[in-house]
């Protein structure tokens, strides 16, 4: 397979940029986009800084190895910009024209709410069971496809007439909803989620007219709004006025939530909100008069209705877990970034829910515009009250009443001293955690002289450092001599994915789960007249196709860029593998450790850089001096017996592997003080000084002014750069009772600034995965419980503190006089 690249790299980038811009100006539903491995795409983007162009497009690293080669499926839990990129059809055509390769992964653009568009990277995957023979199959189609299209695909695949087919929503292998083929509902609106089970029944005696009177059609029972009778009855139950269930008084609020496919992030957030006392009081009563269906920033009240319905179920009698399917359908519809198989950030879904609920329940129908005014020397309390009044004139909901506070923001010009004071609302406080300015990285050093094989070294480098910093640190760790040098490479899928030869390359482009190798050479082995030789390993029993059938770690060396005989190559490979030579064979006889037998020791093939097929190595072999030449050694039992491949050719360590050890411990107060500390604005966030009439890097200082009834702290555990994501596992010591914030609040209006903890959202594990749970306190019992998806269990209060704490929920503790005053009101 040959590539066709008549353009310069600069011309390629210009063409691609223009085509992407053109596609962005002509968005419409149904436009085709193509998924490309981010590894390949970034190597193409960086090719101007590398000595050679990338090879053919290679999407194998993002394709599920278990999927059919004729219908390749993406691995699950991939992230855009990290694992893959999306390009419009015309860009894909150009890249294929220039570089060939594949496989092709085509997706369509779909229209979301408010005429926004997104590419449906993961179409709906449904698991079909045929009731006739219990056979199973997978059906893939868009979540926006109609139920009628689902019937057509299933009936076609199973050879059944549509009139005789009955397709059931088969959630948890139980018939729950009979899907109506004449309905205009989409699969998303029918609450079908990823990996959902559906059941096909065939009625041989069915007439052509479809009977929609079947029992179990729960979709008809989903309320369109909060009903007064249900709200009243449920509220009585939540207050304990029920004699059924758990003896004298039935416990409520202890229902878990089923995981619908990596939805623990959502479940954790929902349990924290469901155990927020003001929300329980509000959503279990009748709130239908508050729903604002006409707010263009809202969701026509559908989100508020879904949350209210879910809270009623969670606070209803019984202990069985609830499947939040109706809610998840609404979440996917209004916030498609949370759909699919990926794990998401629970704080992001919390932010979306609080904002969305506010807009759905905003009592202000017509928002008036009020221009923001500067303080102009007026007293802070006057300005703050004025700004809060303006805010409430546009925003009036239970969310504002319960969750929103106000902070004072002061900007000071570093040149003239001019300052500006504003008072802004907040919904939660995102607190920074102390983090190291360094990064631990593990690199395996391979010795090209054959004296030793490989040794892993873990070094500490600046987090914002360069490849040169890493190379120097590894060189010092392995005792690199003055006449030696290192060649760093990113190894993936048992071959060198790319060589890292740009000293100024940012270390942020090396991810924690990458595997980096440093090949050590004497300087005399590199330079003019030398060619790079890459040795890959494959099993002898495999055929001529190499893709996906390699094993072990590639070996790299430099050879003269002249003709080499088969015996020359054989001797080179033997030298590289000599550290793996077993002293004795399995028979116990001493092995001959010399090289140079008349019969070649290895079966060696040449791997074309732009092909996945192997070609026999010619007797007079000339390596390419401009790029790495790949040779493949096919191992049979003889090689495995002679060389210890299992110990040294496997288990290449990742750059960084997170451990459960706790590095340090800080207090919640120190995190809050860091949040409130004065600091200069970033270079991309300059302030236009009204006195200087110039953009200045002003100093910014925050102060708390007004605190809400419910105060949420988001501990900023996740750090993001373009290529690097990391988690800070610092233990934050937070008060459970008597969190006193009075010294941090500048407004001395006499309110209580004492808080108690009532819920925690926890995150366990590392980035891009992990698991979320919640701790919540049942106020009437004064007991804590752990909510781990569908499992609910009591937990002792001292155990709720851990390094996993991610989002903390506090409620204000009022004095007796304040409480009695509120009761009178």
Instruction: Provide the β-strand partners of residue 616.
Output: 605
* Strands, sheet with 550-560, edge to edge from the N-terminal-most edge strand: 550-560, 530-539, 629-635, 603-607, 614-616
How many C-beta atoms surround the C-beta of residue 236 within 10 A? Answer: 12
CA geometry: angle at 420 spanning 416 and 425, to 5°?
A: 155
Is 138:126 a contact under the CB 8 Å cutoff? yes
As a whole number of angstroms, the distance between CA 698 and CA 685 comes to: 9
What stretch of H or E contains 153?
A: helix 147-158
| DSSP labels, 395-411 | --SHHHHHH-EEEEEEE
Beta bridge partners of residue 33, listed in sequence order:
88, 107
Residue 714 bears catalytic tag = no
End-to-end CA distance of the chain: 81
List of residues 6+ apart from 815 with CB closer than 8 A? 752
Choose, from 264, 403, 413, 689, the residue flagged as catalytic.
Answer: 264
Helices and strands (DSSP H and E) totals, the chain? 18, 39
Tokens representing 630 are 């790949």
- Output phi, psi for 163, to 5 deg: -65, -30
Q: Residue count of the chain, please give it.
A: 825
Phi and psi at residue 371, to the nearest 5°:
-70, 135
Residue by residue, DSSP assigns 302-319 as HHHHHHHHHHHHHTSSS-
If you search the block for the tokens 């009955």, which residue do you land on? 166
Question: Which strands form 454-462's sheet, in the order they lie side by side?
Answer: 454-462, 438-447, 516-522, 484-492, 495-500
List the structure tokens of 84.
């893959």
Between CA 75 and CA 342 the distance in angstroms is: 11
Distance CA 78, CA 67 (A): 16
Going by the DSSP 8-state scheme, the letter that residue 636 receives in this structure is -
- The DSSP letter of residue 369 is P
| Whole-number Å distance between alpha carbons of 258 and 262 | 10
Query: Maximum CA pair distance of the chain?
Result: 103
Considering only CA atoms, which of 558, 574, 554 is closest in space to residue 566? 574
SS (H, E, C) 442-505: EEEEEECCCCCCEEEEEEEEECCCEHHHHHHHHHHHCCCCCCEEEEEEEEECCEEEEEECCCCC
Please confirm whether the linkage preceding 103 is cis (ω < 30° from 0): yes
771 as an active site residue: the answer is: yes
Cα 408 vs. chain centroid, distance in angstroms? 33
Please calculate the CA angle 678-668-753 and round it to the nearest 5 degrees. Answer: 85
Which of 391, 525, 640, 771 does the annotation list as catalytic?
771
CB proximity list for 640: less than 8 A, separation 6 or greater: none
| SS3 call for 180 | coil
Count Cβ atoms within 10 A of the Cβ of residue 45 and give its class: 0-12 exposed, 13-18 middle, 19 or more buried. middle
Measured distance CA(545)–CA(12) in Å, rounded: 31
Q: Residue 749 CA to chain centroid, in angstroms?
A: 43
Helix (H) / strand (E) containing 91? helix 89-99
Pairing mode, strands 57-58 and 101-102 = parallel
Q: Which residues are catalytic?
A: 264, 771
């Amino acid at each position: 397979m040959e590539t066709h690249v008549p353009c310069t790299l600069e011309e390629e980038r210009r063409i691609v940029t223009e085509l992407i811009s053109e596609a962005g100006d002509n968005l419409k539903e149904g436009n085709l986009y193509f998924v490309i491995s981010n590894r390949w795409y970034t190597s193409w983007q960086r090719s101007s800084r590398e000595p050679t162009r990338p090879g053919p497009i290679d999407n194998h690293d993002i394709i599920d190895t278990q999927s059919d080669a004729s219908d390749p499926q993406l691995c699950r839990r991939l992230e855009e910009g990290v694992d893959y990129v999306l390009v419009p059809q015309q860009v894909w055509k150009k890249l294929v024209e220039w570089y060939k390769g594949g496989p092709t992964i085509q997706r369509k653009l779909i229209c979301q709410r408010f005429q926004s568009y997104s590419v449906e990277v993961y179409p709906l995957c449904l698991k079909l069971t045929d009731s006739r023979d219990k056979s199973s199959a997978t059906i893939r189609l868009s979540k926006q496809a109609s139920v009628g299209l689902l019937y057509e695909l299933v009936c076609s695949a199973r050879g059944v007439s549509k009139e005789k087919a009955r397709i059931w929503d088969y959630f948890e292998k139980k018939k729950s909803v009979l899907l109506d083929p004449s309905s205009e509902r989409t699969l998303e609106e029918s609450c079908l989620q990823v990996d959902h089970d559906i059941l096909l029944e065939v009625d041989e005696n069915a007439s052509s007219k479809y009977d929609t009177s079947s029992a179990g059609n729960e979709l008809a029972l989903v309320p369109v709004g909060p009903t007064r009778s249900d709200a009243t009855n449920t509220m009585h139950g939540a207050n304990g006025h029920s004699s059924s269930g758990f003896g004298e008084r039935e416990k409520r609020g202890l229902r878990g939530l089923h995981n619908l496919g990596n939805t623990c992030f959502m479940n954790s957030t929902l349990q924290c909100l469901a155990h927020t006392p003001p929300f329980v009081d509000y959503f279990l009563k009748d709130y239908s008069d508050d729903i604002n269906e006409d707010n263009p920033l809202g969701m026509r009240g559908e989100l508020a209705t879904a949350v209210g319905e879910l809270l009623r179920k969670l606070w209803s009698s019984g202990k069985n877990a609830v499947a939040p399917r109706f809610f998840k359908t609404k979440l996917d519809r209004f916030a498609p970034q949370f759909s699919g198989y990926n794990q998401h950030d629970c704080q992001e879904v919390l932010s979306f829910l609080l904002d969305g609920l506010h807009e759905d329940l905003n009592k202000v129908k017509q928002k008036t515009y009020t221009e923001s005014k500067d303080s102009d020397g007026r007293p802070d309390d006057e300005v703050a009250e004025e700004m809060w009044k303006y805010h409430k004139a546009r925003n009036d909901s239970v969310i504002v009443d319960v969750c929103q506070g106000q902070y004072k923001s002061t900007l000071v010009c570093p040149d003239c001293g001019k300052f500006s004071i504003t008072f802004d609302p907040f919904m939660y406080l995102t607190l920074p955690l102390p983090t190291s300015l360094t990064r631990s990285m593990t690199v395996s050093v391979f010795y090209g002289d054959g004296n030793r094989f490989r040794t892993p070294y873990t070094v500490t480098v600046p987090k914002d450092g360069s490849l040169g910093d890493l190379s120097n640190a590894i060189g010092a760790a392995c005792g690199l001599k003055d006449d030696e040098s290192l060649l760093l490479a990113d190894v993936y899928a048992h071959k060198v994915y790319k060589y890292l030869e740009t000293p100024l390359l940012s270390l942020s482009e090396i991810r924690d789960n990458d595997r980096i190798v440093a090949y050590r050479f004497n300087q005399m082995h590199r330079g003019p007249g030398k060619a790079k030789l890459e040795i890959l390993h494959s099993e002898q029993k495999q055929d001529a196709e190499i893709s996906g059938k390699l094993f072990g770690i590639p070996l790299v060396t430099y050879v003269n860029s002249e003709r080499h005989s088969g015996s020359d190559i054989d001797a080179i490979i033997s030298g590289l593998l000599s550290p793996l030579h077993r002293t004795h064979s399995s028979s116990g006889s001493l092995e001959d450790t010399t090289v140079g037998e008349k019969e070649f020791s290895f079966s060696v093939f040449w791997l074309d850089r732009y092909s996945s097929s192997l070609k026999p190595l010619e007797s007079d072999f000339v390596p390419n001096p401009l790029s790495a030449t790949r040779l493949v050694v096919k191992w049979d039992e003889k090689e495995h017996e002679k060389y210890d491949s299992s110990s040294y050719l496997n288990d290449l360590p990742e750059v960084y592997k997170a451990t459960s050890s706790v590095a340090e411990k800080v207090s919640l107060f120190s995190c809050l003080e860091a949040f409130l500390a004065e600091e200069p604005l970033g270079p991309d966030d300059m302030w236009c000084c009204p006195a200087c009439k110039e953009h200045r890097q002003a100093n910014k200082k925050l102060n708390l002014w007004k605190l809400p009834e419910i105060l949420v702290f988001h501990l900023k555990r996740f750090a993001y750069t373009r290529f690097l994501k990391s988690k800070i596992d610092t233990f934050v010591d937070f008060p459970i009772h008597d969190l006193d914030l009075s010294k941090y609040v500048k407004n001395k209006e006499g309110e209580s600034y004492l808080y108690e903890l009532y819920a925690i959202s926890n995150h366990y594990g590392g980035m891009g995965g992990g698991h979320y749970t919640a701790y919540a306190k049942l106020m009437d019992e004064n007991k804590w419980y752990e909510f781990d998806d569908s499992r609910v269990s009591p937990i002792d209060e001292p155990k709720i503190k851990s390094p996993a704490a991610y989002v903390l929920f506090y409620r204000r503790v009022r004095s007796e006089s304040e409480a009695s005053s509120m009761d009178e009101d």
